[in-house]
Protein backbone atom coordinates (compact mmCIF):
# COMPACT_ATOMS: atom_id res chain seq x y z
CA UNK A 1 0.00 0.00 0.00
CA UNK A 2 1.43 3.39 -0.98
CA UNK A 3 0.92 6.45 1.20
CA UNK A 4 -0.56 9.27 -0.90
CA UNK A 5 1.34 7.97 -3.92
CA UNK A 6 4.67 9.28 -2.63
CA UNK A 7 7.97 7.45 -2.43
CA UNK A 8 9.62 6.76 0.96
CA UNK A 9 12.15 9.54 0.27
CA UNK A 10 9.40 12.08 -0.33
CA UNK A 11 7.57 11.00 2.82
CA UNK A 12 10.80 11.45 4.81
CA UNK A 13 11.29 14.94 3.40
CA UNK A 14 7.70 15.88 4.26
CA UNK A 15 8.15 14.51 7.80
CA UNK A 16 11.38 16.48 8.30
CA UNK A 17 9.76 19.66 6.99
CA UNK A 18 6.81 19.18 9.36
CA UNK A 19 9.15 18.68 12.31
CA UNK A 20 11.10 21.83 11.42
CA UNK A 21 7.89 23.84 11.28
CA UNK A 22 6.82 22.46 14.66
CA UNK A 23 10.19 23.17 16.26
CA UNK A 24 10.45 26.73 14.94
CA UNK A 25 6.85 27.37 15.95
CA UNK A 26 7.81 26.55 19.54
CA UNK A 27 11.01 28.57 19.58
CA UNK A 28 12.23 30.79 22.40
CA UNK A 29 10.61 34.02 23.38
CA UNK A 30 8.26 35.51 25.87
CA UNK A 31 5.25 36.80 23.92
CA UNK A 32 3.22 37.37 27.08
CA UNK A 33 5.78 39.72 28.63
CA UNK A 34 7.45 37.04 30.78
CA UNK A 35 11.15 36.44 31.02
CA UNK A 36 12.48 34.20 28.27
CA UNK A 37 14.85 31.54 29.57
CA UNK A 38 16.75 29.68 26.85
CA UNK A 39 16.01 25.98 26.60
CA UNK A 40 19.39 25.16 25.10
CA UNK A 41 22.78 26.34 26.24
CA UNK A 42 24.11 29.20 24.03
CA UNK A 43 27.09 28.02 21.98
CA UNK A 44 29.10 31.23 22.45
CA UNK A 45 29.53 30.77 26.21
CA UNK A 46 32.71 28.94 27.19
CA UNK A 47 32.33 25.63 28.99
CA UNK A 48 35.06 25.90 31.61
CA UNK A 49 35.72 28.28 34.50
CA UNK A 50 37.02 31.67 33.43
CA UNK A 51 37.46 35.04 35.02
CA UNK A 52 34.64 37.54 34.59
CA UNK A 53 35.46 40.94 33.12
CA UNK A 54 36.90 43.53 35.55
CA UNK A 55 34.17 45.10 37.69
CA UNK A 56 31.60 42.45 36.77
CA UNK A 57 31.48 40.81 40.22
CA UNK A 58 29.52 42.43 43.03
CA UNK A 59 30.34 41.48 46.62
CA UNK A 60 28.20 42.11 49.67
CA UNK A 61 29.80 43.66 52.78
CA UNK A 62 29.98 40.08 54.09
CA UNK A 63 32.09 38.98 51.11
CA UNK A 64 29.36 37.04 49.31
CA UNK A 65 29.18 37.26 45.52
CA UNK A 66 25.72 38.68 44.85
CA UNK A 67 26.21 39.87 41.26
CA UNK A 68 28.05 38.63 38.18
CA UNK A 69 27.38 40.97 35.27
CA UNK A 70 27.53 38.53 32.37
CA UNK A 71 24.65 36.84 30.53
CA UNK A 72 23.30 33.96 32.62
CA UNK A 73 23.81 30.48 31.16
CA UNK A 74 21.21 27.86 32.04
CA UNK A 75 18.48 25.98 30.28
CA UNK A 76 14.90 26.47 31.39
CA UNK A 77 15.04 23.14 33.23
CA UNK A 78 18.32 24.07 34.96
CA UNK A 79 16.91 27.46 35.97
CA UNK A 80 13.86 25.82 37.52
CA UNK A 81 16.04 23.26 39.32
CA UNK A 82 18.29 25.98 40.76
CA UNK A 83 15.33 28.16 41.76
CA UNK A 84 13.49 25.24 43.35
CA UNK A 85 16.59 24.13 45.28
CA UNK A 86 17.06 27.67 46.60
CA UNK A 87 13.39 27.92 47.57
CA UNK A 88 13.47 24.58 49.42
CA UNK A 89 16.59 25.68 51.33
CA UNK A 90 15.04 29.05 52.18
CA UNK A 91 11.80 27.46 53.41
CA UNK A 92 13.80 25.15 55.71
CA UNK A 93 15.47 28.09 57.48
CA UNK A 94 14.11 29.74 60.63
CA UNK A 95 11.71 32.56 59.77
CA UNK A 96 13.26 36.02 59.81
CA UNK A 97 12.22 39.45 58.62
CA UNK A 98 15.24 39.64 56.31
CA UNK A 99 15.83 38.18 52.90
CA UNK A 100 17.51 34.78 52.67
CA UNK A 101 19.09 35.66 49.30
CA UNK A 102 22.56 36.41 50.68
CA UNK A 103 22.59 33.61 53.30
CA UNK A 104 21.67 31.13 50.57
CA UNK A 105 24.44 32.37 48.29
CA UNK A 106 26.89 32.23 51.21
CA UNK A 107 26.00 28.57 51.76
CA UNK A 108 26.27 27.74 48.04
CA UNK A 109 29.62 29.48 47.70
CA UNK A 110 31.04 27.76 50.78
CA UNK A 111 29.94 24.25 49.74
CA UNK A 112 32.92 21.99 49.08
CA UNK A 113 31.00 19.57 46.89
CA UNK A 114 28.34 21.66 45.16
CA UNK A 115 24.60 21.77 45.81
CA UNK A 116 21.43 21.06 43.86
CA UNK A 117 21.22 24.82 43.29
CA UNK A 118 24.57 24.77 41.45
CA UNK A 119 23.85 21.56 39.54
CA UNK A 120 26.13 19.73 42.00
CA UNK A 121 29.19 21.70 40.91
CA UNK A 122 31.36 23.70 43.28
CA UNK A 123 30.87 27.47 42.99
CA UNK A 124 34.53 27.93 42.04
CA UNK A 125 34.11 25.46 39.17
CA UNK A 126 31.19 27.34 37.60
CA UNK A 127 31.80 29.76 34.75
CA UNK A 128 30.82 33.39 35.42
CA UNK A 129 27.76 32.80 33.21
CA UNK A 130 26.71 29.81 35.33
CA UNK A 131 27.34 31.80 38.53
CA UNK A 132 25.09 34.54 37.12
CA UNK A 133 22.40 31.90 36.48
CA UNK A 134 22.61 30.64 40.08
CA UNK A 135 22.32 34.21 41.38
CA UNK A 136 19.34 34.91 39.12
CA UNK A 137 17.58 31.76 40.33
CA UNK A 138 18.37 32.54 43.99
CA UNK A 139 16.96 36.05 43.62
CA UNK A 140 13.79 34.64 42.08
CA UNK A 141 13.47 32.12 44.93
CA UNK A 142 13.92 34.86 47.54
CA UNK A 143 11.12 36.83 45.84
CA UNK A 144 8.91 33.72 45.55
CA UNK A 145 9.08 33.90 41.74
CA UNK A 146 10.22 30.41 40.77
CA UNK A 147 7.08 29.85 38.73
pLDDT tens figures, 53-81? 888 999 999 999 999 999 999 999 999 99
For the whole prediction, is pTM greater than 0.85? no
96 has pLDDT over 70: yes
- Write out the residue range of the structural domain in which residue 97 sits: 57-147
Q: What b/e string do you get for 31-56 counting C-beta neighbours within 10 Å, with b at 16 or more?
A: eeeeeebeeeeeeeeeeeeeebeeee
What's the pLDDT at 147?
A: 83
**Does residue 50 lie within any of the structural domains?**
no
Question: Which residues in the chain belong to E strands, given as ranges?
Answer: 57-59, 65-68
Number of domains in the chain: 1
**Does residue 25 lie within any of the structural domains?**
no
In Å, what is the CA distance from 23 to each residue of 17, 27, 120?
10, 6, 30
Greater confidence (67 vs 32) lies with 67
Map residue 131 onto helix, strand or coil: helix
Amino acid sequence: MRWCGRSPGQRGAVLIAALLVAVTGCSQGAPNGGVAVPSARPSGIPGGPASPPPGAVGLSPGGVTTRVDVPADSTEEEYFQACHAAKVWMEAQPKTDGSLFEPYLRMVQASQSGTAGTWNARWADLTPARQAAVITAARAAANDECG
